Amino acid sequence: QVQLVESGGGLVQPGGSLRLSCAASGFTVDDYAIGWFRQVPGKEREGLSFISGRGRDDSTNYADSVKGRFTISRDKAKKMVYLQMTNLKPEDTATYYCARAWARHWYGSLAEERYGYWGQGTQVTVSW
């Protein structure tokens, strides 16, 4: 019954912005770490950001490749997690996924093996 559905991807010019959304169902969003990942065909999935699964602790973390440009946030009432992406670069082109951790109230990390539920992905293309 756990489901995650990403949306908000599309084509954007370098330097532009997009906000990705992750609609969650089947669990309480604040109880689990939720991460954002991306993948280019033929390459390994890259962890980008997570927001803590420890109750009302909204601590976040970011990969060096996106730190200062991307911001993760959560809306418990709407059961949504967002990834605000700014100053996008061509190398940000990828399929973006949100994922929920296996373990309830685990703090979080960028290690994909710690996440057990994944959305279908949304494509982001950064190009002129």
Q: Is the separation of the CB atoms in 74 and 51 below 8 Å?
A: yes
pLDDT tens for 99-119 read 999 999 999 999 999 999 999
Q: Are 76 and 28 in contact (CB under 8 A)?
A: yes
Is the model's pLDDT at 18 over the cut of 90?
yes
d(CA 18, CA 36): 14
Evaluate whether 16 touches 92 at the Cβ level (below 8 Å).
no
pLDDT band at 6 (very low <50, low <70, confident <90, very high): very high
Q: Which pLDDT score is estimated for 57?
A: 80
* pLDDT for residue 58 is more than 90: no
Task: Determine the average pLDDT of the residues in 20-30.
Answer: 97
Span between the terminal Cα atoms of the chain, in Å: 40
Count CB atoms within 10 A of the CB of residue 58. 12
| Lowest-pLDDT choice from 21-35, 49-63, 93-107 | 49-63
Rounded to the nearest integer, the mean pLDDT of the chain is 97
Segment 77-88 mean pLDDT: 98
